[in-house]
Amino acid sequence: MPEFLTLLTPQEARQKMIEALSSQIMLKVETISTTEALGRVSGKEVRAPHPLPMFNRATVDGYAVRAEDTFGASESLPAYFRVVGEVPMGQETTLILGTMEAALIHTGGMLPPNANAVVMIEQTQRIAENEIEVYRAISAWENTIRLGEEVKEGEIVLPIYKRIRAVEIGGLLALGITQIEVVKKPRVGIVSSGDEVVPPEHSLQIGQVRDVNTYTLSALVRRCGGEPLPYGILPDREEALRKALSELKSGCDMILITAGSSISARDYTARVIQEMGSPGVLVHGLNTRPGKPTIFAVCDGVPIVGLPGNPMSAFVIALHFVRPLLNLLQGLPTEEIKPRIEATLTVNLNSSAGREDWIPVRILQDEQGLRADPVFGKSNMILALSRADGLICIPPAATGLTAGEKVWVEPIEAI
């Protein structure tokens, strides 16, 4: 019987893996269309090629004026302006305003060269074909956006190593930046093993289960910016795993293996991983539930993670450990700012002191607010996790949580 796992805290294990990997990462970049960059990570900082806007613009419909001509105007004592023209949209204007003169302007229009404010149309009244009353004094540059006010020429508009969102895409295209350098997607080999595991399309025989882990992990990898490379289902044979890892290692930036990491007569996973390169296995065993038999290794710069075979365990560990490693492989911070929801626990939960427990919960809402209702299920029950909205953590120092207690729920992303 092999020696039992040496358990590390999740924090110790994560730090050990990151430290071993950080100095060995060499990020590669590629150029893609800006319109295809959603969710990718910038591989180079981007600077504005010109100011934005490129001219003084109106932000409301109204009249372009010289602000000083409105001073003292009010509803009881309006100021009178002569309307000398209209600013054409999408064109440069050459209108020059004299004292107490105004030009009709629409949102986004260019201010005349000597105008410095816009009176909202609601604050005016046309009293003749070319004359208006202004009922309010306005300050200089009110209801406008000035040249370069949003972005100055040469200003960094996208820093290096930032996850690109829809708003970044819009901002880049507003500056005419149609191509961008991004970090290449980490290629993640995914191996599922077990004599009892069959593809999802197969009819089940007694004793068989369908492969779940390949697909949930592929979805998570894709959501985190990686490129999943499913290898297939391996039999419980040491040589089969050795062959798979040897083939994947040369073409992958990370490898995930499910099953084979628990203590049993067939536990050869850690031994095979150790053969794959230096420094080898760093962690074999986490003081957490689910996920106790997890393996972390770095083999010649390639992180290899041995995940539990139970689908719920594999997914929860991947959320908290594989996701930070994928961030590291893209130049992103490993410690993300994660959204959390505060809710009231509905039932008592027990735990063992010294162990970190993750419990799936549903979020319910009633007149008293948000409630966290645990979804009970064993670690091989993936549908129990699919019914959950998030996870709550029972920290190692606690022996449980009490009904009515406020807890933080980490939402399970829609992947």
**Domain definitions of the chain by residue range:** 10-27+185-328, 29-52+150-183, 57-145, 341-411
pLDDT of residue 381: 61
pLDDT of residue 267: 65
Cβ atoms < 10 Å from Cβ of 406: 12
Sorting pLDDT into bands at 50, 70 and 90, what band is 2?
very low
CA atoms of 390 and 370, how far apart (whole Å): 13
pLDDT of residue 387: 86
Residue 54: CB partners within 8 Å, gap ≥ 6? 147
As its CATH architecture, domain 341-411 has Beta Barrel (2.40)
pLDDT of residue 1: 33
Residue 207 has pLDDT above 50, yes or no: yes
Q: Which two tokens stand for residue 310?
A: 């139970």
CA atoms of 117 and 115, how far apart (whole Å): 6
Q: How do the residues of the chain divide into helix, strand and coil, expressed in percent and rounded to 5?
A: 20, 35, 45
Sorting pLDDT into bands at 50, 70 and 90, what band is 226?
very high
Sorting pLDDT into bands at 50, 70 and 90, what band is 132?
very high
Write the pLDDT tens digit of every residue in 43-58. 999 999 999 999 999 9
Write the pLDDT tens digit of every residue in 267-315. 688 899 999 999 999 988 888 888 788 899 999 999 999 998 888 888 8
Q: Which long-range contacts (CB under 8 A, 24 or more apart) does 8-13 make?
A: 8/283, 8/285, 8/286, 8/287, 9/286, 9/287, 9/288, 9/356, 9/396, 10/286, 10/287, 10/288, 10/320, 10/321, 10/356, 13/282, 13/283, 13/286, 13/294, 13/296, 13/321
CATH class of 29-52+150-183: alpha beta
pLDDT of residue 154: 97
Q: Is the pTM of this model over 0.85?
A: no
Contact 284, 270 (CB under 8 A): yes
Residue 294: CB partners within 8 Å, gap ≥ 6? 13, 261, 283, 284, 285, 286, 305, 306, 307, 308, 317, 321
At residue 55, φ and ψ (nearest 5 deg) are -160, 165
pLDDT of residue 52: 95
Cite the beta strand spans of 152-243 per DSSP E. Answer: 156-158, 179-183, 187-193, 197-198, 209-210, 227-234
Q: Provide the greatest CA pair distance for the chain.
A: 99
Q: What is the mean pLDDT of the chain?
A: 90
Residue 5 has pLDDT above 90, yes or no: no
Write the pLDDT tens digit of every residue in 241-251. 999 999 999 99
Cβ atoms < 10 Å from Cβ of 246: 12
8-17, 159-168, 207-216, 355-364, range with greatest mean pLDDT = 159-168
Residue 335 has pLDDT above 90, yes or no: no
Residue 144: CB partners within 8 Å, gap ≥ 6? 56, 57, 58, 59, 111, 116, 117, 118
Residue 263 has pLDDT above 60, yes or no: no
CA atoms of 331 and 182, how far apart (whole Å): 11
> For the domain with range 10-27+185-328, which CATH number is right: 3.10.20.340, 3.30.365.10, 3.40.980.10, 3.20.20.70?
3.40.980.10
As its CATH architecture, domain 57-145 has Beta Complex (2.170)
